[in-house]
Amino acid sequence: MLGMFVHENYHGEFHGKAINLARKLCQEYDKVFERYDALVLPTIIQKTPKIPEKDKIDFGKLVRNSRTFLV
C-alpha cells in the first residue's frame, strides 16, 4: 500500500534519488577498497553494553539474554 501511494503521488522521485544515492555509495566503497582489503563495521544498531568486572557478572542474566536459532 505504501509503495503504491508513493508511486502515485511522487511519480518515482524517491526511487530516482535512492538509485543515485546507491550509486554514490558504491563509488565511495570502491574508493575505500582501493586502499584497504576489508572493512570492520558494526553489526547491531545499538551501543554494546559495558563488560562487567569478572566478579560482578550475573550469569543468570547472560543465560536469559541468549537464544538458540534454528535454520
- Give the DSSP per-residue string, 30-48: HHHHHH-S-----SSSSPP
Which amino acid is it at 31? K
pLDDT at 61: 62
Spatial separation of the C-alpha atoms in residues 32 and 29, rounded to whole Å: 5
pLDDT per residue as tens, the chain (71 positions)? 777 887 788 877 888 888 999 999 999 999 999 999 998 887 777 777 777 677 776 666 655 555 565 55
pLDDT at 20: 92
Query: Do 18 and 10 touch, CB atoms closer than 8 A?
Result: no
pTM: 0.47
Q: Locate the domains of the chain by residue range.
A: 2-65
